[in-house]
């Protein structure tokens, strides 16, 4: 076991990919001499050179499209879009090309490409830089969507993503880069396998990415009041581990889904639908959602904090669900 930050885990995953597979190259904005907007690729340009670390122009559609083309002819590009907000400029390439090439070519071509990007609010970078669109991409057949919450999950999932024959959206939260955790040296995590971060018997909290940490903090507070919370980290949105979710709810009989983005149209609604359909007879109360406010994320830090779910809101939701249980 080695302690490392979330940033260091991703950096290690990229280093392994470059060292072990000559088909791998990195491409994105400011990933070269600058070292990346979030310092993940510091030193890479000096170590691997401009042939494998490619600084791109500010044109997400162009460099994602170049990544798709190179993947189709045998390379394994790892493309960095600075934030998921900017992925909208490449959404046609991602959704209509990367995700569909295998199907539309009759399995003659595949796109083994990883798109690394950054999601989430909390850094006071205002409305157009603070959105969470990973749930959108989870609705697209042909894409894998990975949302690690810890250094170990980041490295373990990345190692698996390197082997995928189809495109992956590897979504990192902006506030997690400095988060530290123990990482097993040989860790490798399959996609579509959720992790029970904390076992419990009274209520299930289902979440992913940064909100997993809020859920765990809420579980600690609720334990002081005699409420035993089970916390599930989805880890991947597509594929989704339905079995772990349903089995947990059948045990606890209560469920809350926590995510950072707005409630209306959020991925949490999909999870709620699955729970209602697959575990309805086991529920003692409605399935609750804790999500962001239905507003663009404010630049003002105090207002931004009000727009994002926090630990206290999760605690309040759990207490409310017990009031409504039958």
Task: List pLDDT tens digits, range 255-299.
Answer: 999 999 999 999 999 999 999 999 999 999 999 999 999 999 999
Q: Do 116 and 54 lie in a common domain?
A: yes
What is the tally of structural domains in the chain? 2
Per the domain annotation, does 188 fall within a domain?
Answer: no
Q: Do 81 and 179 lie in a common domain?
A: yes
Q: Do 167 and 30 lie in a common domain?
A: yes
Q: Is residue 128 helix, strand or coil?
A: helix
Q: Starting at the earlier edge strand, list the strands of the sheet with 76-81.
A: 53-55, 24-28, 76-81, 114-119, 168-173, 144-146, 236-238
pLDDT band of residue 166 (cuts 50, 70, 90) is: very high
Among all chains, which residue has been given the structure tokens 């017990």?
322
pLDDT band of residue 325 (cuts 50, 70, 90) is: low
Q: Do 151 and 233 lie in a common domain?
A: no
Q: Do 233 and 156 lie in a common domain?
A: no
Report the pLDDT value the prediction gives residue 313, as an integer from 0 to 100.
Answer: 96
Q: Do 128 and 250 lie in a common domain?
A: no
Can 152 be counted among the known catalytic residues?
no
Per the domain annotation, does 86 fall within a domain?
Answer: yes
Contact 263, 289 (CB under 8 A): yes
How does the average pLDDT of the chain come out, rounded?
A: 96
Q: Do 68 and 111 lie in a common domain?
A: yes
Q: Do 202 and 177 lie in a common domain?
A: no
Backbone φ and ψ for 193, nearest 5 degrees, come out as: -125, 105
Q: Of the residues 97, 129, 173, 213, which is catalytic? A: 129
Task: List pLDDT tens digits, range 131-146.
Answer: 999 999 999 999 999 9
Report the pLDDT value the prediction gives residue 322, as an integer from 0 to 100.
Answer: 85
Distances in Å between the Cα of 41 and the Cα atoms of 7, 62, 108, 170 are 9, 21, 33, 15
Report the pLDDT value the prediction gives residue 326, as an integer from 0 to 100.
Answer: 52
Q: Do 161 and 205 lie in a common domain?
A: no
pLDDT band of residue 22 (cuts 50, 70, 90) is: very high
Q: Do 44 and 136 lie in a common domain?
A: yes
Per the domain annotation, does 298 fall within a domain?
Answer: yes
Q: Do 222 and 201 lie in a common domain?
A: yes
Q: Do 105 and 153 lie in a common domain?
A: yes
Task: List pLDDT tens digits, range 26-50.
Answer: 999 999 999 999 999 999 999 999 9
Task: Check whether 324 has a pLDDT greater than 70.
Answer: no
Alpha helix positions (H), the chain: 6-20, 44-48, 60-72, 91, 101-104, 134-138, 151-161, 211-223, 242-252, 267-279, 301-307, 311-324
What is d(CA 39, CA 132) in angstroms, rounded to the nearest whole number? 21
Task: List pLDDT tens digits, range 197-252.
Answer: 999 999 999 999 999 999 999 999 999 999 999 999 999 999 999 999 999 999 99
- Shortest CA distance to 35 belongs to which of 45, 21, 22? 45
Q: Can you read off the two tokens belonging to residue 15?
A: 């280093």
Task: Check whether 13 has a pLDDT greater than 80.
Answer: yes
Q: What is the CATH number of the domain that holds 137?
A: 3.40.50.970
Report the pLDDT value the prediction gives residue 323, as an integer from 0 to 100.
Answer: 78
Range of the domain at 310: 195-324
Q: Of the residues 8, 60, 80, 230, which is catalytic? A: 60
Domain boundary residue, one of 151, 183, 215 = 183
Share of the chain above pLDDT 90, in %: 97
Can 129 be counted among the known catalytic residues?
yes
């Amino acid at each position: 076991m080695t302690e490392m930050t979330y940033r260091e885990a991703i950096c290690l995953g990229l280093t392994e990919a470059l060292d072990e597979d000559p088909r791998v190259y990195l491409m994105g904005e400011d990933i070269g001499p600058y070292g990346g907007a979030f310092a993940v690729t510091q030193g890479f340009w000096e170590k691997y050179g401009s042939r494998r670390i490619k600084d791109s122009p500010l044109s997400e559609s162009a460099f994602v499209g170049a990544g798709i083309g190179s993947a189709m002819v045998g390379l394994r590009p790892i493309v960095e879009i600075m934030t998921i907000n900017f992925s909208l400029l490449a959404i046609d390439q991602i959704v209509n090309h990367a995700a569909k090439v295998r199907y539309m070519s009759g399995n003659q071509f595949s796109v083994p490409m990883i798109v690394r990007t950054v999601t989430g609010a909390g850094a006071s970078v205002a409305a157009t830089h603070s959105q969470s669109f990973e749930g959108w991409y989870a609705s697209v057949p042909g894409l894998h969507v990975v949302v690690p919450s810890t250094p170990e999950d980041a490295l373990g999932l990345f190692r698996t993503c390197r082997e995928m024959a189809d495109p992956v959206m590897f979504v990192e939260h902006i506030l997690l880069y400095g988060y530290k955790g123990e990482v097993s040296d040989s860790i490798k995590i399959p996609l579509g396998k959720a992790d029970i971060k904390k076992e419990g018997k009274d209520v299930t909290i289902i979440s992913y990415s940064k909100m997993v940490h809020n859920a765990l903090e809420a579980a600690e507070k609720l334990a002081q009041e005699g409420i035993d919370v089970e916390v599930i980290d989805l880890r991947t949105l597509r594929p989704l581990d339905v079995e772990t979710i349903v089995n947990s709810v059948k045990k606890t009989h209560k469920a809350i889904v926590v995510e950072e983005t707005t409630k209306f149209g959020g991925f949490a609604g999909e999870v709620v639908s699955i729970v209602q359909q697959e575990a309805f007879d086991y529920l003692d109360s409605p399935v609750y959602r804790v999500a962001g406010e239905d507003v663009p994320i404010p630049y003002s830090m105090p207002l931004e904090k009000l727009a994002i779910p926090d630990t206290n809101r999760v605690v309040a939701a759990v207490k409310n669900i017990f009031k409504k249980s039958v």
